[in-house]
């Protein structure tokens, strides 16, 4: 056998994945280079077996369970948003259809008067609420700030 | 096919049993972490990558059909995470002579323990120079209980091809460590 043929086999021989062929072993015994290569391959195999296996850090399970819960929460939030948007779009279609139906059925005039009455009631309510507008704005700003801080805290989690 | 215990564990996880998933994490965390720590170039990112593996396991469990063993499926996810991590990094060329454990700096007549320490250090550096897929094979195969057959199934490789690739990886290591092994 030639050296290059044997050298292709030394790793398999060293790992015990190949049954030693008598011709191969005869060549190894007579060739210093191939014998050294086989010894080196066995040494590499031994070193690899001795490598220590690093263990997971002590709090690994706790950290991964926390990450899983946050991931599940984010996915649920995404689903909720999708659901709410879908309901909103469907409602819009329904209202549009209802409005078209009203217009074409001649009830548009009645609904227009009803809208005017509702509009003046809302306007009256706004006039009554206006003195308290700065208070409402301040409360809205506080709520918006709290939501912003909560979003910022959660976004990197 | 999965053993009965594995099948029950997967079913409990699918039903949203958090305790079952925690049990799964505890069962596989050391194996996953060891392969990742030995394969990833950057040891500091090993925990993040291991967490990514379990996150993918959690997301993928509803779609896991149970045709392969759970451990095989997990190895596959580990391999994908390692390969994707490697694709996101620039190649690093490291000399075996870096750092303070340079062989030339060792005093004449160094003790056997010091020689072994130097050789193990150079082995790690040599392994770091292997391609990512070879590093994964070397890391996974030399962990206790990871058989050729399990690895071949996880990586979708014929058994013969897997063994050939592993032998090539070790041949590269032998050549990189040629001086040290004489």
- Per the structure, how many domains does chain A have? 2
Nearest chain B residue (CA) to A36? B182
> How many angstroms from the chain centroid is the CA of residue A56?
22
If asked whether residues A87 and A42 sit together in one domain, one would say no
With respect to residue B113, please indicate whether it lies within any of the assigned structural domains.
no
Using only the alpha carbons of chain A, give its radius of gyration. 39
In a domain, residue A138? The reply is: no
User: Does A146 reside within a domain?
Assistant: no
Is 0.85 exceeded by the ipTM? Answer: no
Within a domain: residue A153? no
Domain count along chain B = 1
Interchain pair A53, B143: CB under 8 A: yes
Residue A142 counted as domain residue: no
Nearest 5°: the CA angle B53, B59, B65 is: 100
Whether residue A121 is contained in a domain is answered as yes
Q: Does residue B122 lie in a domain region?
A: no
Residue A24 lies in a domain: yes
Whether A117 maps to a domain, the answer reads yes
User: In terms of residue numbers, what domain contains A88?
Assistant: 60-127
**Per-residue pLDDT reduced to its tens digit, B10-33:** 889 888 888 999 999 999 998 899
Q: Which residues of B touch A (CB under 8 A)?
A: 18, 21-22, 25-26, 29-30, 32-34, 37-38, 46-47, 50-51, 54-55, 58-59, 119-120, 123, 138, 142-144, 163, 166-168, 170-171, 173-174, 177-178, 181-182
Over residues A46-103, the pLDDT tens digits come to 989 888 878 888 899 999 999 999 988 888 888 889 999 999 999 999 999 988 887 7
Residues 6 or more apart in contact with residue A50 via CB below 8 angstroms? B120
Mark yes or no for CB contact B26/A61 under 8 Å: yes
Give the CATH number for residue B54: 1.10.1740.10
Rounded-to-integer distance, Cα B48 and Cα B52, Å: 6
User: Would B26 be classed as within a structural domain?
Assistant: yes
pTM, entire model:
0.66
In-domain check, residue A36: yes
Contacts of B163 in chain A (CB under 8 A): 12, 17
């Amino acid at each position: 056998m030639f050296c290059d043929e044997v050298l292709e086999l030394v790793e398999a021989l060293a790992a015990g994945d190949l049954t030693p062929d008598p011709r191969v072993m005869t060549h190894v015994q007579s060739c210093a280079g191939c014998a050294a290569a086989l010894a080196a391959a066995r040494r590499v195999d031994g070193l690899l077996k001795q490598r220590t296996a690093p263990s997971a850090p002590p709090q690994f399970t706790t950290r991964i369970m926390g990450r899983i819960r946050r991931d599940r929460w984010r996915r649920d939030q995404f689903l909720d948003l999708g659901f709410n948007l879908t309901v909103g779009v469907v409602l819009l279609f329904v209202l549009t259809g209802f409005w078209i139906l009203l217009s074409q059925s001649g009830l548009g005039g009645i609904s227009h008067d009803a809208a005017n009455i509702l509009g003046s009631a809302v306007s009256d309510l706004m006039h009554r609420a206006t003195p308290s507008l700065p208070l409402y704005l301040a409360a809205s700003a506080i709520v918006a700030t709290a939501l912003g801080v909560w979003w910022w805290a959660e976004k990197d989690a | 096919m999965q053993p009965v215990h594995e099948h029950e564990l997967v079913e409990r996880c699918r039903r949203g049993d958090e305790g079952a998933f925690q049990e799964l994490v505890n069962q596989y965390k050391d194996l996953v972490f060891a392969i990742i720590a030995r394969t990833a170039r950057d040891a500091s990112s090993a925990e993040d990558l291991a967490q990514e593996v379990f996150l993918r396991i959690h997301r993928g469990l509803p779609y896991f059909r149970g045709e392969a063993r759970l451990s095989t499926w997990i190895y596959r996810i580990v391999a994908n995470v390692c390969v994707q991590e490697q694709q996101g990094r620039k190649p690093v060329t490291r000399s075996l002579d870096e750092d303070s454990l340079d062989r030339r700096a060792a005093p004449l007549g160094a003790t056997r323990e010091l020689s072994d320490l130097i050789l193990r250090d150079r082995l790690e550096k040599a392994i770091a120079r292997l391609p990512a897929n070879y590093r994964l094979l070397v890391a996974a195969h030399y962990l206790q209980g990871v058989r050729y057959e399990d690895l071949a199934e996880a990586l979708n490789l014929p058994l013969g091809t897997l063994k050939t690739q592993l032998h090539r990886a070790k041949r590269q290591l032998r050549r990189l460590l040629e001086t040290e092994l004489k």
